Structure 1
Amino acid sequence: MRWMMLNGCCLIILAGSGAGAVGQEFDWLASALPERAHDFGTVARGSQLRYSFPLVNRSDQEIRINNWRAKCGCTNVNVGAKVIPPGTQTTIEVTVDTTKFSGPKPSGLTLIFERPTFVEVDLNTSCYIRSDIVTNPGLVDFGIFRRTDKMPSATLTVTYAGGRPDWDVVKMKTRSANVVAKGEPVRTVDGQVNFTLTATLDPSVPNGYFKDEITLITNDETTPAIPIAVVANIQSAVALTPSIVNFGQVRPGESVSKTVLVRSSEAFSITNLSTSQDELKSADQTTGAKPVHQVKLTLKAPTQAGPFHSTLTVKTDIPDEPAAILKTFATVGP
């Protein structure tokens, strides 16, 4: 916290981690950012480390992000949404490139809020980078693809150049069953070990941006676990426009409507529409099989003031296509 004299008055400027955000006007901050630090642990050099900080709006006011600053050129920041209505949430994703570093590496970002109150908050990351273990590329990236019967594979090489001649990967673990991993070590005459990791996505993987992690368990007791990030973007055969519906501020009992377009490259039929809250109704305004359907959403706001959110689930007759899900929000107030 810094003090400045302005026309004989004291002006307080709050910065940093928000530890000085004392008082009722900053009560929203503690619940909005439950995590402000993440330690990746010991990692291989070359790894692309990814972590998503959750940002949850549990208040009755809109949270608005003005900007952000990365703490290192090795760090990339992706903010899911800059405007977070009450009762909703987003993520602040941090990616750290370890290619040019070894040993302890702190990083992170400074997040700048403009609403409900102006404040700057630090989100910190840390890791220890082993120079004797290198990954190429830095993560398993399946890229952008359409769902098919044969799901794609991706490979990555882990090179060990340490002093242990029997170094080996003894086990592999994934966070979910959506990724299947296999590995094969190859030893060179100079004692270097090249471990080739091959990963395949399971057909049950959901549509959209997908993240997972493969952990290599080695026989090195000092640092047995090596995390490998996994990313993919599975494109749906069905697209919803807009992708999120915000009804905005509505009065208790008021009815408001919006139209959602459901598109595909070929003609299709909607077989079922359902919502997670009774106050939200849906109706397909298009008859028969068409490449574009208009779905009318009508919200009758509940009598109780506060944040409202519901989902719309759209099922079609497109073979093997999972249901499309749309999130809707509103703020009920006088």
Structure 2
Amino acid sequence: MIARRLFLLAASLLPLVAWAESLVIEPKHAKFDTATAFSTVQQRYTVVNNSDKPVRIKDWKAIAGHGEVKGLPEVLAPGERREFEVVLELPGKLGSALHRFAIFTDEPGVERYRFTLSGFVLSLVSPAHAVIDFGKTTADAGGEQKVTLSASEKTPLALQRVVSAPDWIDARVEGTTVSARIRPAAALGMRAGVIQVATNLPQQPFVEVTTKAIVEGALRPSTYGVGMKPLQVGERATASIELIYTGRSDLAALKVDAPEGWEVARSACQSELPPETRCVRIGLARPLTETGRSTGFFTFRLAGEPDLAIPFGVIALGKDQTIRELVIDEGKELGNSGYVDVAKALQQGTAAGTPAPVAETTAAAPERIAHSEGRGPVKLAWSARNDDKIFGYVVYRAEDRAGPFVRISEQPIARKEPAAGSDKADYAFVDASVSPGATYYYYIDVLGSDGEQRRFSPVLSKKVLK
């Protein structure tokens, strides 16, 4: 009986042995030092074949994030160890970054080998999330909107040229200011894009400015963006948009371009409107046959008028499937049981020339600041309450209270966990590059987990004694 049980156990393990993973990637989860936006990160890995058979590497893929895997061998002999690297050309996205990769081989039963590269990306240019918000406007309104950038680096910031801009924007740079104007022929609707500008900073060759607007014309919709509630496969996604027209063309000639599968119907507007108002109600419907997220545009065309494009989004769920990522706000304050207006957040509180509000990073004020005297070096010390919205701290120095201040901490001073029994952590920074008899001025910024910097301390004076 015992022999039979051993035989059955060995037989059950055979598939597991045959499908054992041969390769080991080290490190499996690598981290890069804090890097600046638009810089290049290189990370080396080692791959080892621990089996007694050669393994052929067929392909690699970035399954989350981006990056390029270089130097992978085509075949690894038994026991062979080889190095390869991942090269990341970092984009302008700030904060924590996680990139997942996979290697595919010819081994039966082994789907993939996964490994990651993560770190934190910051901007040397302030504001870190620069925005030009036109609010609600018309294409022929004219007038520029501007944002002025700055950088507390050893090399004073100079903007060199506009590298790219949305097709509805004319952009230019002068000194440290980016200016933008909506083009007269810009299409109507909710518009957004990014202006990329070249800088003179070797550590950060580019900076981005987000632009957004709601461009209005003679054809005005009841909503500038439509997000439908999550639905089950087999149900119908429906939406309706009322269009008021104040121009000279014939509204009956309006053309509606919708993605394949969408049904379009016209009817009279149901809103209470002044007499003689020209209005049409467009109903849109589509049966949902597959799970997943679907996005696109409904485009309205009328002779003599710019096109109006309205974005939409819908999620189709399978049976008993739940949403893992919330992408549509179904708050009761929207008061709309038919569809959710995804443009509402953009429209709320937005006025021409007023930047969109940015969430504040809450940083506790420093509990104490130590003033150093002597022949140097200068030591700054402080304590602060722990806050997971903070990534770290950045130190700046000047030789005059009025500035200019220059960043002197090469890397952010990482947030610490407080000591046992305390809600505060202690921090210190030593500045050794000081001269006897000189007075220096410092301040500390807090670097939020979103990549935004905000003032943490007042300006501190430190005199180095001879």
TM-score normalised by L of structure 2: 0.31
Greater Rg over alpha carbons, structure: 2
Higher strand share: 1
